[in-house]
Structure formats: C-alpha cells, structure tokens
Amino acid sequence: MFIKKYFEEFELQATRYTKERTISATDIDFHAKESGDFFPHHMDEAWCKTQPFKKRIAHGTLIFTIAIGLTADFVNEMAMTYGYDRLRFIKPVFIDDSIKVTISIKDKKEHKKPGFGLVTELVQAFNQHDELVMVCEHILLVNKKAV
C-alpha cells in the first residue's frame, strides 16, 4: 500500500501496531549463513544447554531485521529512512517465540535541508508474553508540504 504523509501530518504520540511473526530455527540458521555469525549462542543447542538460558538465542540483528520488516506494511512516498539510534536488545528471543512491534511518533524537528523535517519513531518489539525484547529509534527524513 502506498500513502503520502508529509512532515506536518505526523502527530506526536500517534501509535500503530504490527502483526506478529514467529521466529523459527530456520530463520536463525539462515541469518547465521547470511551474516557469518555462527556463535554457539545461536547455533549449538548442546552447548546452549550448559548456559543460563538453556536454549538457542536468536541473533539480535535478526530480531532487529524482522522487527523493522514488520513495520514496513506501507510505503510513505514522502519519507525515507535517515537512520536508527539507541538500538538495545532487552531480552533474548528464542526459537518459536513470536514478536510484534509498536511504533510511536516520539519527536519531530526541522532538518537543515529546506523542505524536509525529521520524524523519530520509537520502535518497540515485544514477545508473545508482552515483554519488551528490543527497542530503537527510527529516524525518517520527510518531505514538507510545498508552501
């Protein structure tokens, strides 16, 4: 779906929610192959049984990728990603856990380039128990309405 939402149309504290996605062993295995991160925390089930969590943990970068992907349920033709700040992995995500994301408009400010503003979204990923597992700020560069 395509929309046109200008800088002036973003409202602070406006919130939206994504659908849920379950993390599979295949997701973790594929991410390890793509990223080159084969740390035993993600890949070695026997080793993980000797560790505090007792099971394989999804890569933080996998959870970030899936969480951001879940937020991409529409394309705003007036905005593009400017970057991400304050990324934190709060709790581990395991095989068969499901994550969903809440996106809230946290801040709006002028950009040095005329005709644009910056919108900061607070992105929070939760597991199936509604526990926060990941948080970051997504910064958008957004066109202003022509005056």
pLDDT greater than 90 at residue 6: yes
Residue ranges of domains in the chain: 2-143
pTM of the model: 0.94
From the options 3.40.50.300, 3.10.129.10, 3.40.50.1370, 1.10.3720.10, give the CATH code of 2-143: 3.10.129.10
The mean pLDDT of the chain is: 96
Average pLDDT over residues 94-110: 98
Give residues with Cβ within 8 angstroms of 88, minimum separation 6: 134, 135, 136
Closest by Cα among 74, 136, 76, 75 to 101: 136
Res 89 pLDDT > 90 = yes
Q: What is the pLDDT of residue 147?
A: 63
Contacts 24+ apart (CB under 8 A), 103-112: 103/15, 103/16, 103/17, 103/18, 103/71, 103/138, 104/13, 104/14, 104/15, 105/10, 105/11, 105/12, 105/13, 105/14, 105/15, 106/12, 106/137, 107/12, 108/7, 108/10, 108/12, 111/141
Confidence of residue 74 (pLDDT cuts 50, 70, 90): confident
